[in-house]
Amino acid sequence: MGNPSPNRPSDPPPSTTTAAAAPKKSHPLGLLDSVASSTRSLLTAARRSPVTTLVAAFFLLALFMYGEDVRTIAELSIDDYLYPDADVYNVSGLPPLVLPPPSCDLSRGRWVFDNTSLPAYREKECTFLTAQVTCLANGRPDDRWQYWKWQPSNCSLPTFDARRFMEAMRGKRLMFVGDSLNRNQWESLVCLVQPILSKGRKKVVKRGSLTIFHAKEYRATLEFYWAPFLVESNSDNPKIHSIEHRIIRAERIEGHAKYWRDVDYLIFNTYIWWMNTADMKVRRPNSRYWSEHDEVPRIEAYGRVFKTWSNWLDDNVDPARTSVFFMTISPLHISPDKWGNPNGIKCVKETLPYLNYTEPLDLNHDMRIFDLVAKVSRSMKRVPVTLIDITKMSDYRKDAHTSLYSIRQGKLLTPKQKAEPDKFADCIHWCLPGVPDVWNEILYTRILSKSSHSPPSPSLPLPPK
C-alpha cells in the first residue's frame, strides 16, 4: 500500500466535456434561500392566525430536527454547481490496474515486513478515527504492528489506490452492516480514502445506528450500520448494548434492513457476539415481550438468522445494482499457549505476528458458523454473495489488537485497569492503521473486479433519515 500525501487536496481531474455542454444548474444557495423565505412567511402569518401559529411551530421543529439533512441537501447542490461535469471526469491518467484472477485465493499467504510503503496512512493524520483504535495516542510504546503487508501465495494483491477506488464509488453508497469489527473496517476505509478529498468536502454524520462518511466531491457515501446480529435484538442501541441477557428475533430483520435498500455495496459480518454462550436466547415469533424466548443452540439460531437474511436479500436486492459481500470470522487472541507463549496474558505485550506457517494456528473458532456462511453464500443464485475470507490471515496477527491501549465505557484504561490485563485487555478490536487495512485491500480488489465488468448504477440517493 502506497503512502499517500495526506495534507494536499486533490484538484478535480480535467473534464472531458465543455462547460457549455453541461446541464444547467440552479444556484447552490437557492435551497437555503427558499427555507429562509418560507420561515419568514410562516412567522408573519402566525401573528394573524392560531392555526398558522401551530403549523409554523411544527415547521420550525422539523427544521431543527432535520437541519443536518437540509444542510446535506444544500451541500450536494453546491457540489453540483462546483463540479458540473462530475459524472464524466477523465480518469484515463490512472495507470492500468492488474487484478488477480478470480481463481486466486487471496486468503492464503504470509505476512511480510514492509517499513517502506507502510503504513498506508498515519494515525494522527486521520481525524475520523475513534479513541478505541488509536493505539499510539493511547500510549502503546511500539509501532511495529503497522508495517506488515499481506502477500498471497499465488498472486499479487493490488495496493489500495484511493483515487481509483473513489472513482468507482462516484455517485454511489457503500455500507458496512454488523458489529464493531465492521465499524473497525469502516474506519480503516475512511482513513484510506480521506487524504485525496479536499478539506471541507468530507464529513461524518451520525443518525442513530447509521454513521455516514460523506465524500462530497464524489457525491458518494461510505456508511456503517450497527446491527450486531443482523436481525433485530434487544442489543440494537448503538450506545447502550452492554446487556447481560442478549435476545434476538431470528425472523425479524426489516427494522434494520429498511436502511440497506438502494445501497450499491453491502458488506456484512456477524460472529463475535454469538460467542458468549453455547445457547442463544431467541424470542418466539409473534410474542409480545422479550421475556417470551427460548434457549436455542448457537448454530441452530445462526442458521435461522441466515435464512431470514438470505430471504431478505433475494426479495429486496437488485443484483444488477447492488453487490453483496460477507466478511468471515475476525479472531480474538486470548490463548497465548496456542502460539507457544504459555506464560503470556491474552494478546498483551505481543509485538510480532505468528510466523510459523508450517503449523496451523488453532484459535478455537466455531468453524460451523464459518462453514454455514460459506454454504449459504454458495447457494445464493439470484443475489450472489462474495465471501471475503479474512480468518486465517488475521489469526496470525496476535500483535495487532488494541490490547491495553483502548477505551472502556468511553474512557481510556486507568493504571489500575491496566494492572489487570486478563480482565481489561481488548484482544478483539484492531489498532489502526493495521490489519483491517488489508481486509479493505481485498474488498477493494473484489469491488474493482466487479465494477470493471458492470454498467454504472443510478445516481446516489440521499441516505435515509
Give me the helices (H) in 387-463, please. Answer: 391-395, 415-418, 421-424, 435-451
Catalytic annotation present for 214: no
What is the pLDDT averaged over residues 364-369? 97
Q: Tell me: pLDDT of 75 over 80.
A: no
Question: Is the model more confident about 266 or about 463?
Answer: 266
Query: How many other CB atoms sit within 10 Å of the CB of residue 361?
Result: 18
Q: Which of 79, 161, 395, 426 is catalytic?
A: 426
Catalytic annotation present for 429: yes
Q: What percent of the chain has pLDDT over 90?
A: 72
Here the cell at position 42 is 410562516
Q: Which of 429, 437, 451, 457 is catalytic?
A: 429
Tell me the pLDDT of the chain averaged across its residues. Answer: 85
Task: Confirm if 263 and 323 have CB atoms less than 8 A apart.
Answer: no
Question: Is the model more confident about 54 or about 265?
Answer: 265
Q: What is the pLDDT of residues 163-221, one digit of tens each?
A: 999 999 999 999 999 999 999 999 999 999 999 999 999 999 999 999 999 999 999 99
Task: Confirm if 220 and 447 have CB atoms less than 8 A apart.
Answer: no
> Which architecture does CATH list for 109-451?
3-Layer(aba) Sandwich (3.40)
Q: What is the pLDDT of residues 325-341, one digit of tens each?
A: 999 999 999 999 999 99
Q: What is the pLDDT of residues 310-325, one digit of tens each?
A: 999 999 999 999 999 9
Instruction: Report domain extents, the chain.
Output: 23-84, 109-451
Angle between helices 50-65 and 67-82 (to 10 degrees): 70
49 pLDDT band, cuts 50/70/90, is low
Verdict on whether the full-model pTM lies above 0.85: no
Helix (H, G, I), strand (E, B) or coil at 399: coil
Report the b/e string of 219-237 with b at 16+ CB within 10 A.
bbbbbbbbbbbbbbbbbbe
46 pLDDT band, cuts 50/70/90, is low
Here the cell at position 193 is 480514502
Q: Which of 77, 107, 161, 180 is catalytic?
A: 180
Question: Is the model more confident about 195 or about 69?
Answer: 195
Query: Comparing 42-56, 91-105, 261-275, 320-334, which segment has the lowest mean pLDDT?
Result: 42-56
- 128 vs 238, 299, 330, 464, CA distance in Å? 18, 36, 22, 21
